[in-house]
Amino acid sequence: KSKDKPRKPKKPYHIKREDLHLEEYIEERDSKSPRIFFSRLGRHFYHSTQLRIYIVLQVIAVYIGFGQLMLIIGLFWAMLANTTKRKEGEKSAYSLFNEGVEAIAGSPDMEAIERELRT
């Protein structure tokens, strides 16, 4: 064997190609592309009647001189329109709104904080 040839590094034997989830990685990477973002935005605008109505009302309000007021109303409208009821069994991030004031997994509670402080 020739000594001047560099040795090819061996792959770890315990990692298999199917364990890498390359398709999910590629899909996630591509979903962050600006081209895909703008195409999704265009599709959403095309299918969203509420957004089109808002833009027309905003243009009219700017023309009349109430553009800032309409912007504030639009922000409140967007908050209310996107605040929906949770699905059956879905918990809120705020334990106050959950049945039995039950916290979601991973949220700190006073007992956990007290245990951490005492140790």
Tens of pLDDT, residue by residue over 74-93, are: 999 888 887 777 777 777 77
Would you state the structure tokens that stand for residue 10, as one six-digit string? 């061996």
Q: What contacts 51, CB < 8 A, 6 or more positions away? A: 44, 45
**pTM score above 0.85:** no
Whether the per-residue pLDDT at 59 is higher than 90: the answer is: yes
- Could you give the CA distance from residue 97 to residue 91 in angstroms, rounded to a whole number? 8
Mean pLDDT, rounded, for 29-47: 78
Reduced to 3 states (helix: H, G, I; strand: E, B; else coil), residue 96 is: helix
Q: What 8-state DSSP symbol labels residue 110? A: H
Closest CA to 74 of 62, 91, 88: 62
Reduced to 3 states (helix: H, G, I; strand: E, B; else coil), residue 57 is: helix
